[in-house]
Chains A and B, each alone.
Chain A
Amino acid sequence: MATKEGSFSVEDMKNVQINIGAVVKEADEWDQEMGPFPKPGVATLRDWDYKIMNRYKIMYAPADDTCTLCTYGPCDLTGNKKGACGIDQAGACGKIVLIACLMGCCAHAAHGRHLYHWCLDKFGDMKFDMGDEILVDSPLYQTIIGKKPKTLKDFDEGLAYLEEEVVQLVASTHTGQEGYFMDFESKALHTGMMDDLGMEICDLLQIVAYDMPRGAADAPLIEIGMGTLDQNKGVLIAYGHNLAAGAEAMIYAENNNLWDKVDIGGVCCTAFDLTRITETGRDSKVPKNLGPKAKIAGAMGWWRKMVRAGVMDCVMVDEQCVYCDVLGDAQMRKIPVIATTDKIMLGLPDRTNDPVDQIVEDLVSFKMPGVAVLDPTKAGEIGIRVAIAVKPKRAEAKIQNLITAEQFKEGVEKCTTCNECAFVCPPHIRISDLIAEAKKGNLEAFSSMYEICVGCGRCEQSCPQGINILDLFEYANRQYVKNQKFRMRAGRGPARDTEIRAVGMPIVMGTIPGVIALVGCSNYPKGTKECYDIAKEFVDRGYIVVTSGCMAMDMSLYTDADGKTIWEQYGGGFDGRNICNTGSCVANANIMGAAIKVATIFARRNHRANFDDIADYILNKVGACGIAWGAYSQKAASIATGCNRLGIPVVVQPHSVMYRRSFMGRADKPEDWMTIDARDGSLQQVEPAPEAMLYIAETKEEAMLEMAKLCFRPSDNSIGRGIKLTHYCDISMKYFGKLPDDWHLFVRDVKDLPLVYKEDMLKTLEEKYGWKIDWKAKKILSGPLRPADVSFDPTLIARKIRTKK
């Protein structure tokens, strides 16, 4: 009905809920009431954060004993001393952690904002439709914002909210603002949650706009590896995280029938997103089934090896995780560079408004080493045309792509065994030993270390003899590069609601022993094979294994005895004994989304604007554990922190100490494990499950053992606990040669005991821990912390108590 502007009638009030400070229109067809925390502010969920941090104590490993952030500095904070502004070492560490998380969060959010504008410009507004099998289609958005986006345009509200929060969070890092470490960490947890939201918005936008798979367990197998790039064609590399320009290049190649002249390979997450395009066959403005025409050249950690291997003719960089010296590396080999977003312009001239022909000519004739072109369509066309035209020019100009046998020999002869390089090599490769072997004519040492080398180039920076060590690696691994050809599953996007329904109960009861998420980069600390080993161990054991980003790429470079990659060995479902690739970095949101969906689809918890309730459910009932086993970016810090706020523990590799902060429980403090039983509000001490929120492991063996342990949850029933304990003990026996020292903490009943170890364990419980055992009845009479009780309903949130005692 018509009313004057600025006034409203009572009928208009229908479906309008007034919150303090904001008017939130209720979505008409949503059966859930608006929850308590729509668009939580910086301090709204602080109580929840403190619950996490009181149990999982913040632990800092300062990378620096001083602070130099303002003109008072440097201040010496050694021993938790205070600086001139009054901040102590813990506070200063917290501030740096928050800043790191903000960097990561903003990288994803800015990516999302760019895609939002780009997709609306290119495609116009579109219905937000994830298909019939994904009805909980934006779990993080709904949990945090309390609304369901209906069109792509609706995501603006989420982005605007996120951007406002980020400004507040950055402000708190100014000298003289926040000073208390726990509040810095509460803000970091808030930032992590913002990051979850930003990633989800980003991935959902591109899934819909580019018609990517929506939970397809059978997403196509894609070619991966440097050897897949056809050197008879011009090779265009799209490097970074934002598909816009790379996708335009593919569309240009398709529309102009150029695939016989050009190959497109992606590096880092752009690779994934290119290979996901238009795979469902719905109506789209983009040509059908385009994705599988692109190849995945490799993960970010392979970049420098790839340049040295001479497998590309032109490179387009977009954003995030791009090496800062990409231009210098490319210039040495006359590989034209096109910068396609304003986040990375590399000092190049902005040629966005110049005619395409002129730019192509300037690049192909090597007049310019690179250009910035911020219009993705134009950049895409230039990329394809340059890659095709520059290939013969590079051949004519006799560009030396690869070193000769003579140059290799000269290089190794120059080495004086000073070992300066070994002092800076992150994985501690004794380069002089490899060189000594090479001098004897044995290249095997260089080959065996190729995948351990992270390609950081620090050795070359430090070598007084100026030896190009990465070139030596390339020379020794030329054949390997040619043969680096594998197949992996394209990113399938979120878990389908039906999949969640099938696995919800087994996850919560523990009969599927856990959900293992391998995310981020994967090249530390001992090479890329470790991520394959870890994934395989857990898939084989029947865990649900999900992965994304560079980790998913790197695990594809290894095969079993039959020559099959992990993707060819197992199905791609969200199920036990399956491995699913959710997609690029931003597709990590689908992993967190799956945990939320267990709470809302299986357990029927209202997730709408109800973050802490859902996180509490996940912490106590969903046996999930993330692992990040690689180097690089602050995005890893924010992703891990986002997982932690959602109640998901994460294991990281030892170099992760550079991010300074971890969350560690104290199993020896009963008071830290007091948990409310939601049935009646009584307090119950539970076993330390999960024992830590952010755990640093020194070796993959330790990581695997800890991951198995971090899948325990108080809600496990006896069968489930027995299965989890079996895997925990088996992994320990396999890699440690003995049972872990703390298995008894997780035993509540004789039925919890793994069958294989039962007799011995009962004996140990009696003799070592003084438990009373009825041997005839095979029963535990006393000893455990608490009895196994399937109807126990653990929570840390008082408002969940159903009947007050």
Chain B
Amino acid sequence: MAADVKKGIDTTKNPIPFEMAQVPGPEQAKCFMPKVMGAIIKKAKRPLLVVGAELFDDPIMFDKMIEMGKMGIPIAATAHSVKGFVDRGYMENVYQIGLHPLTNYLRFPDWKGLDGQGQYDAVIFMGIFYKFANAMFATLKNFNRDIKRISVDRYYHINANMTFGNMAFNANDYHAAVDEVIAAMKK
């Protein structure tokens, strides 16, 4: 299983919701190693990277997100995170939209997407205020199960399908794990 994937940062430890009492029910996210995560994102036909304002607290993450963007994954910049992309001069496939309206659209199969090309099959959350991201995952978990819910954030996201364990207090490991995801996507 996931934990068997050799070497690299172990992102499967600490599967505890970052707000501990967020335990919604029997269906809970599984933790995956970065390489598996990268491979699955790569396989998605219509992935969407969804990033939030916590990127401003750890600006190096903007660069990592841009790297993903350059690999052709469109970016939904929620809250006011688009400012980080504007400041870095990368707006190629970046869309400015709130997480709430975005999730509202994601729950309808007939939505045509931010680029008009159709609904997404996977969303990858990153840098979003924990409780808010958790709730928007809950919307999709309950009301549109056709979209795969992936978190590459530093928190264990219980309402995702795939997530890391908690890495909130170890920035270095977390950065390395995201780099491994990106490397796996490039393979």
Contact = CB atoms under 8 A, between A and B. Distances in A.
Given A698-B132, A737-B87, A65 B24 contact: yes
Contacts of A740: 96
A129 interface: no
Interface of A: 57, 59-66, 76-80, 89-90, 419, 422-424, 426, 428, 462, 525, 654-655, 657-658, 662, 664, 666, 668, 691-692, 695-699, 701-702, 705-706, 735-738, 740-741
A654 B26 contact: no
Given A66-B25, A706-B98, A741-B97, A697 B79 contact: yes
Given A63-B24, A78-B27, A666-B108, A701 B135 contact: no
B131 interface: yes
Contacts of B24: 62-66
Nearest to B116: A668
B79 A65 contact: no
Given A654-B129, A737-B87, 11 more contacts: A62-B142, A78-B25, A78-B26, A90-B143, A423-B19, A462-B20, A657-B132, A666-B105, A697-B79, A738-B86, A738-B91
Contact of B95 (A655, A705, A741): A741
Contact of B168 (A90, A422, A695): A422
A506 B75 CA distance: 39
B163 interface: no
Contacts of B53: 698-699, 701-702
List the 8 shortest-distance A-B pairs measured between CB atoms, nearest first.
A65-B25, A657-B135, A737-B86, A701-B80, A61-B135, A698-B79, A654-B132, A664-B104
B25 A423 contact: no
A699 B169 contact: no
Given A78-B25, A698-B52, A63 B138 contact: yes
A202 B141 CA distance: 42
A702 B104 contact: no
Given A66-B26, A424-B19, A698 B98 contact: yes
B80 A78 contact: no
Interface of B: 16, 18-21, 24-27, 52-53, 78-80, 82-83, 86-87, 91, 95-101, 103-105, 107-108, 111-112, 128-132, 134-136, 138-139, 141-143, 145, 168-169
Contacts of A90: 143
21 contacts: A59-B107, A65-B24, A66-B25, A76-B25, A76-B26, A78-B141, A80-B142, A422-B168, A657-B135, A696-B99, A696-B132, A697-B98, A698-B53, A698-B79, A699-B79, A737-B83, A738-B83, A738-B96, A741-B95, A741-B96, A741-B97
A695 B25 contact: no
A288 to B, nearest CB: 49
A770 to B, nearest CB: 13
Nearest to B25: A65
Contacts of A741: 95-97
Contacts of B80: 699, 701-702, 705, 735-736
B143 A60 contact: yes
A60 B103 CA distance: 10
Most chain A CB within a 10 A radius of its CB, from B99, B129, B145: B129
A630 to B, nearest CB: 14
Nearest to A59: B104
A698 to B, nearest CB: 4
